[in-house]
């Protein structure tokens, strides 16, 4: 197991830059999303889209329609 991890860190992952993202939501929304997986998937898709656009140079302030959730 440690050999596999060492191989990944030294040979595979070392070749590509890596960004670590943590998407979080306010506590009340998290509880709602925890019991509604389809809505959670849509919310994460929207948030991931924002992060991707930000990396591509598009401003991060997007006007999101709340009906998308």
Domain ranges of the chain: 23-69
Q: When comparing pLDDT for 41 and 65, which is higher? A: 41
pLDDT score of 55: 66
- Asked if the model's pLDDT at residue 8 lies above 90, the reply is no
User: Using 50, 70 and 90 to split pLDDT, how confident is the model at 25?
Assistant: confident
Collapsing DSSP to helix, strand or coil, 22 comes out as: coil
User: 20 pLDDT exceeds 50?
Assistant: yes
- How far apart CA 43 and CA 3 sit, in angstroms, is 37
Within 10 A of 9 (CB to CB), how many other CB atoms are there? 10
Torsion angle (degrees, nearest 10) of CA 55, 60, 65, 67 = 50
pLDDT at 57: 61
∠ CA(54), CA(48), CA(7), 5° rounding?
95
């Amino acid at each position: 197991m440690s050999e596999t991890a060492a191989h990944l860190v030294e040979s595979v992952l070392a070749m590509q830059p890596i960004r670590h993202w943590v998407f979080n939501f306010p506590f009340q929304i998290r509880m709602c999303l925890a019991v509604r997986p389809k809505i959670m998937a849509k919310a994460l898709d929207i948030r991931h889209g924002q992060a991707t656009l930000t990396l591509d140079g598009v401003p991060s302030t997007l006007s999101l329609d709340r009906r998308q959730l």
